[in-house]
Amino acid sequence: MLVRSLASVRKDCPTAEIIVSDVAALPETEALVRKTDDQAIYLGHVDNIGFARAVNIGFQRVTGDYILVVNADVELLPGTIKTMADYLKQHSDVGLVGPKILDPSGGFVTSPRRFYRFPLTVLARRTRFGNTRWGHRFTNEHLMQDLDRDQEHAVDWILGEAMMTTRAALKRVGHMDERFFLYLEDTDWCWSFWENGLQVFYLPQAVVREIESTGEINKAYKQGITSVNSKYTRIHIRSYWRFIRKHGFGHTPRVKVFSRTV
């Protein structure tokens, strides 16, 4: 996976500064990175320090004006980097953009999403309530099933699998909140962009594709992460409550941004 991901980034932008921030790193991974791309900077972390922490360490090393965060199990289709960078350059009121994400079979991944309506969205996503008519309603609302997938849109938040920002926006918004060890760190970060007056946009003209993975988290999703016996469900729920404690139940910052611009 990592080899394909690295190769796709280098092919899409030959001059890119590539930083690999690897959690729970294996000894052979660094050699693999060196063999695949001898220009890449490898940052190996022995412990699983979490997604947000790993990304933030990478942020500290970047020198470019446009910063792409992409998972190691995602490959870029041609033109992705230029499309996102050009959009950010042309729209100063937009701070973060995310591409259309396809699964390994070419299906649409619901990356653009609405902020959670606590507790109903959580119940719809993580309990049998999701199988009811009302549960389907809240799930569809959260996953923006009404969205035209082929049109760019301002959205509440996008999945952290692939997203691009600028150095200027990062300085204004700040890094990811490392208290979110796993899950909702991307939701919280997007909230911060809106809170600081910068919009988050979904750009379907930029496309990435997930690479088939046999990782533990991917297996958990395939087997049904809604089970309370899954450690990932428990981590997800803890992140939900941490998000609530931080932001409460009130209006989203997106409402504030649009109220200032209308």
Q: Which residue has the tokens 């953009």?
A: 97
Asked if 185 and 177 touch (Cβ cutoff 8 Å), the reply is: yes
The mean predicted confidence, pLDDT, of the chain is: 89
Question: Which residues on adjacent β-strands are paired with residue 105?
Answer: none
Task: Note the pLDDT of residue 187.
Answer: 96
Task: Note the pLDDT of residue 229.
Answer: 63
Res 28 pLDDT > 60: yes
- The residue among 42 and 237 whose pLDDT is bigger is 42
| 56-81 residue pLDDT tens | 999 999 999 999 999 999 999 999 99
Amino acid type, 144? M
CATH topology of domain 65-112+147-256: Spore Coat Polysaccharide Biosynthesis Protein SpsA; Chain A (3.90.550)
Res 258 pLDDT > 80: no
| 234-257 residue pLDDT tens | 888 889 889 999 998 766 787 555
Task: Note the pLDDT of residue 259.
Answer: 44
Domain ranges of the chain: 65-112+147-256
pTM over 0.85: yes
Q: For residue 112, is the peptide bond before it cis, meaning its omega torsion is within 30 degrees of 0?
A: no
Q: Nearest 5°: phi and psi at 69?
A: -105, 125
CA–CA distance, 243 with 237 (Å, rounded to integer): 10
